[in-house]
A = this chain, B = another copy of it.
Amino acid sequence: MAIKTVMKPKVINWYQIEPILSKIDVIEPMKQGFIDYSKGLAEIPPVGELIMEDPPGDVHIKYGYLKGGKHYVIKIASGFVGNNELGIKPGQGMMLLFDIKTGQPLSILIDEANLTDIRTGIAGAITSSELASKNVDEVLIVGTGVQARYQTKYICQEMGISKVLLWGRDESKIDKLSNDIKSDNINVEIEKNLESAVRSSKLIITTTSARSPLVNSEWVQPGTHITAVGSDTHDKCELDYNILAKADLVVADSIEQNVLRGEIHQALKHNAINEADLIEIGCIFENPQKGRKNDEDITVADLTGVAVQDLVIAEAVYNTFDELND
């Protein structure tokens, strides 16, 4: 009845992806992806979202393409907190690459949401590196989950950070995190008091799924940069919105998304900032003079995660896998 296609998409499982990650460098492609996105060269529809109640879980579908590119990506990533009790990873999902000229599926990366975690870590690192004061050599990581690990890993790689301060609400988790990071030869200190930690830090990465602010605006000192990666829905929130009001520069990964999700959404809702004052990280990667002006500025970057990041990392994995298995 129909023309038969012979092409079958390449299914690549996480155990096949993990060993080739060391061969993949997406720092520059991801910066370029953000630049292209902010130049309007990407077609990225609003994030699809599916909420489950019993047991609680959510699924995000991010998808899109770069004009002139070879592929479109559809990325599915879910989070089910109860999975831990079942011995199952809370994050699950896959990235799908399709031929942009025919719609044929080329590759199914069953990444169990790990590539999402990794591209989020990399985006955090390149954003923090771009916006933090140049003399920073310490980072305060707020939170104890997967992103605390990936942000630490990539920020240390990207910025040559020598000391990591950790703060988390759960002592059992913070010890485990500390041990995990220490094993990677990083100097780690656990902070007991978030206020004093924030007051003494010039680079802060927040990675929690908090639904009310953890960081108070009064604690934030001149010269500080904060990258907030935890809040990616309309209700999650890690920062007191007055931090954004007080900041000299508020940076979004996608203004279109951030007005609906994350810290920027919260600050706009409380009329603490103006949408017109926002700038996208892609604009700053293209014109670094639009970033931090001096060592006294307070800068905040709010990252909600954009499909262009998924496209960049999925293409890199697919191409590298292809080369290695040719």
Instruction: Report whether A45 and B48 are in contact in the complex, using a CB–CB cutoff of 8 Å.
Output: yes
With A11-B11, A48-B45, A48-B48 known to touch, is A61 a contact of B63 (CB < 8 Å)?
yes
Cβ contacts A to B, 30 pairs, < 8 Å: A1-B146, A1-B180, A2-B91, A2-B146, A3-B84, A3-B88, A3-B89, A5-B92, A45-B48, A48-B61, A48-B63, A52-B100, A52-B101, A55-B101, A57-B101, A59-B74, A59-B98, A61-B61, A61-B63, A61-B74, A78-B103, A80-B101, A82-B101, A83-B102, A83-B103, A88-B102, A92-B102, A93-B103, A93-B105, A105-B110
Interface residues of A, CB < 8 Å — how many?
55
Closest 5 CB pairs of A and B: A78-B103, A92-B103, A48-B48, A80-B103, A3-B89
Whether A13 is near chain B, meaning CB under 8 Å from some CB there, is: yes
Q: Is A162 an interface residue (CB 8 A)?
A: no
Q: Is A87 among interface residues, defined by CB-CB distance under 8 A?
A: yes
Decide if B92 touches A80 in the complex (CB within 8 Å): no
Q: Is A72 an interface residue (CB 8 A)?
A: yes
Complex interface bits, A1-44 against B, C-beta within 8 A gives 1, otherwise 0: 11111001101010000000000000000000000000000010
Cα distance A101–B96 when bound, in Å? 22
Q: Does A274 count as interface, using CB distance less than 8 angstroms? A: no
Query: Can you name the residue of chain B whose Cβ is closest to the Cβ of A2?
Result: B89
A65 to B57, CA, bound (A): 13
For the complex formed, measure the closest distance between the CB of A324 and the CB atoms of chain B, giving whole angstroms.
Answer: 20
- The answer to whether A50 touches B76, judged by C-beta atoms less than 8 angstroms apart, is no
- Expressed in whole angstroms, the Cα–Cα distance for A84 and B101 within the complex equals 12
Q: Are B52 and A65 in contact (CB under 8 A)?
A: yes
Q: Cα distance A114–B82 when bound, in Å?
A: 35
Task: Write out the residue numbers on chain B whose beta carbons fall within 8 Å of the beta carbon of A72.
Answer: 50, 52, 59
**Interface check A142, CB cutoff 8 A:** no
1/0 contact string of A102-128 vs chain B (CB within 8 Å): 111100101010100000000000000
Interface centre among A9, A64, A76, A84 (most CB of B within 10 A): A76
Give the docked Cα–Cα distance between A201 and B71 (Å): 46
Interface positions, chain A 47-69, Cβ under 8 Å from B, are 48-52, 55, 57, 59, 61, 63-65
Interface contacts beyond A59-B74, A92-B103: sample of 17 additional A-B pairs, CB < 8 Å, sorted by A: A1-B146, A1-B149, A2-B112, A43-B50, A48-B48, A50-B63, A55-B101, A57-B101, A57-B102, A59-B103, A61-B63, A78-B98, A80-B103, A83-B103, A88-B102, A91-B103, A108-B108
